[in-house]
Structure 1
Amino acid sequence: MIWSEDDIEKAREHFWAFVYIVWKSIDLPQPTPIQIDIANYLQKPPADRIIIEGFRGVAKSFLTCAYVVWRLWKDRQLKILIVSASGDRADANARFIKRIIQTLPFLSDMIADKGQLDTQNIFDVGGVVPDISPSVKSIGITGQITGTRADILIADDKLLCRL
């Protein structure tokens, strides 16, 4: 799908608009009012650490992954750590983040360049300044997180964010 410059500009400024583009691009129905409320809450949290809770199927994980992409789009130097009870679950979120980047044509410059870290659960985004910490890292709760730096920590289906 081709998006207008106005659509892209609005999506860069407003996370809810970015959600509309992601949902349309992955063949989901329009975001629900509660999903838009969550998107607005993520963009303008009341504190520097938040927890998103919702019923099964409200799209907490999809919204959180889209939020990570949106934040990296706005600031490629951010570091994201995804931690889950299961390494597989954490890796699924990392893969979805990568798929969103690969799916939206206007994010093509965020795809990792040759020579950049680019595995299933640890990867950099294109345009990031070389750093010891990757752009995105996913790990199970029993994995090694000591020494891992993160600006945004995704814990299971909840998002904890230090702004």
Structure 2
Amino acid sequence: MSTVNWRSLPDRRPLVTLSSVVAACILLGAAGGLITAPQIETWYTTLDKPGFTPPSWVFGPVWTTLYALQGVAAWFVWKAGLDRRAVRVALALFVLQFAFNVAWSPAFFGLESPTLGLVVIVPLWVAIAATIATTARVDRRAATLLVPYLAWVSFATALNYAIWMLN
């Protein structure tokens, strides 16, 4: 049984693979939005929120941008070659953080629980930081693309915490 040398496989259509990875990240990320949308105009409006809460319309464009950046980052890492252990570790952490990301909306909005939101968003933050650290060993451009995501999730963690405290 031979193993595939992923590094030797040429990417004959880089724009197709890049677009596919970015689209997958945006679509998977949007899945959380399906749970969020009905709760924004009902349950979420009843919550006491801190003064630094952005208007609801900000979240869609920000998350779409962040998911696109994540897709580009994952693509850069993948292009470095799956035969490298560092690449596999970085991509595994990427998948882990993405799973926490997708889980946050059902926890916070779906279950109407700022407490469960915190239970998910704190390990999400840790997973993003670990993803950036491992990704930096593979491709600094990819790690840099994830920094705005960590910054936004830092803000979202503070917002989630403030909502939890106020309610």
Q: TM-score, normalised by structure 2?
A: 0.26
Give the number of the structure whose residues are more often strand, by fraction. 1
Instruction: Select the structure that is richer in helix.
Output: 2
Larger Cα-atom Rg: 2
TM-score, normalising length from structure 1? 0.26
